[in-house]
């Protein structure tokens, strides 16, 4: 499939998915949802990809839903937003969450509405210092979606999540880092190189082990302490059976660098 609204390439074990509708700050229309879905399917199926990097072209990362596709003029039939969420946004967030590899988000500019929450669904978020995050939904009478009402209170606490969601304030990248919303704010010029270097490094690491870490930390939000201890036991059992665990221990004992295959 050739793409118009995204760019997608796989190099050195890293899949880079770049949202590419810069004139509308990479907001999602139906075509972009379809293309992103297709690219993520390729990532999931690939034996080669061991890390996914998501970013955007232009001065925005993503402004959420393309509002020019929503006809809410008086007298016209209301769009069924639940259907749109069910068909597009929820599967996207579930796919990112369930991908058995690290997913990095390099937020190159403003991330608003679903755009912000797509970033927060990723495993490691880097943002350009000029980037910002806005729960823009309240400004148009909507509720944060794409996992925002789940992720945000867990990242920043209920007080901040509630105020951010009700006020729709713009949070700059450095503030987002201080609040623990993201991993790191970096200089604008350094963002893409730093994100790519991180992705390439992660793509050489024990992919199955990293996927199990992701599973454990995500599951912890819903588990009791005892359930989490049991889960750690079960996941460690799986990790202990991977080739990369053998290689990691062998390399340590032989005082050499490990050569992880992701298996």
Site for ligand T3D, rule CB under 6 A: 24-25, 27, 63-68, 70, 81, 84-85, 89, 110, 112-114, 134, 136-137, 140, 142, 145
Give the nearest distance from C-beta 218 to ligand T3D in angstroms: 22
Residue 156 vs residues 58, 66, 151: alpha-carbon distances, Å: 28, 27, 9
**Structure-derived torsion over alpha carbons of residues 6, 11, 187, 115, reported in degrees to the nearest 10:** 30
Would you say 18 or 205 has its CB closer to ligand T3D?
Answer: 18
Would you say 56 or 206 has its CB closer to ligand T3D?
Answer: 56
List, in sequence order, every residue forming a beta bridge with 115; answer none if it has no partner: none
Give the nearest distance from C-beta 87 to ligand T3D in angstroms: 9
- 85, 34 Cβ separation under 8 angstroms: no
Residue 165 vs residues 61, 95, 98, 151: alpha-carbon distances, Å: 19, 24, 25, 12
Give the nearest distance from C-beta 41 to ligand T3D in angstroms: 21
Give the nearest distance from C-beta 79 to ligand T3D in angstroms: 7
Would you say 166 or 250 has its CB closer to ligand T3D?
Answer: 166
Name the closest residue to ligand T3D (Cβ). Answer: 64
- In the three-class reduction of DSSP (H, G, I as helix; E, B as strand; rest coil), residue 114 is classed as helix
Give the nearest distance from C-beta 155 to ligand T3D in angstroms: 18
Would you say 136 or 198 has its CB closer to ligand T3D?
Answer: 136
Long-range contacts of the stretch 35-40 (C-beta < 8 A, 24+): 35/1, 35/3, 35/4, 35/5, 35/6, 35/8, 36/6, 36/92, 37/88, 37/91, 37/92, 37/95, 38/1, 38/3, 39/3, 39/6, 39/8, 39/15, 40/92, 40/95, 40/96, 40/99
Would you say 112 or 122 has its CB closer to ligand T3D?
Answer: 112
Would you say 104 or 118 has its CB closer to ligand T3D?
Answer: 118
Give the nearest distance from C-beta 92 to ligand T3D in angstroms: 11
């Amino acid at each position: 499939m050739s793409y118009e609204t995204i760019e997608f390439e796989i190099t050195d074990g890293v899949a880079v998915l770049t949202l590419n509708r810069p004139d509308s700050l990479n907001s999602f229309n139906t075509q972009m949802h379809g293309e992103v879905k297709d690219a993520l399917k390729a990532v999931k199926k690939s034996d080669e990809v061991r890390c996914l990097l998501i970013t955007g072209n232009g001065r925005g990362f993503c402004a959420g839903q393309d509002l020019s596709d929503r006809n809410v003029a008086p007298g016209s039939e209301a769009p069924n937003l639940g259907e749109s969420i069910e068909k597009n946004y929820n599967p996207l967030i579930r796919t990112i969450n369930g991908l058995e590899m690290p997913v990095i988000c390099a937020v190159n500019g403003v991330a608003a509405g679903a755009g912000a929450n797509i970033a927060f669904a990723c495993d490691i978020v880097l943002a350009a210092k000029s980037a910002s995050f806005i729960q823009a939904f309240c400004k148009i009478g909507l509720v944060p979606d794409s996992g925002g009402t789940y992720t945000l209170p867990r990242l920043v606490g209920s007080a901040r999540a509630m105020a951010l969601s009700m006020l729709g304030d713009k949070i700059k990248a450095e503030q987002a880092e201080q609040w623990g919303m993201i991993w790191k704010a970096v200089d604008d010029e350094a963002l893409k190189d730093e994100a790519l270097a991180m992705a390439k490094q992660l793509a050489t690491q024990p992919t199955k082990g990293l996927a199990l870490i992701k599973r454990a930390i995500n599951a912890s939000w819903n588990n009791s302490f005892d359930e989490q201890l049991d889960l750690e036991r079960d996941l460690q059992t799986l990790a202990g059976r991977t080739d990369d665990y053998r290689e990691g221990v062998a390399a340590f004992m032989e005082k050499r660098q490990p050569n992880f295959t992701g298996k």
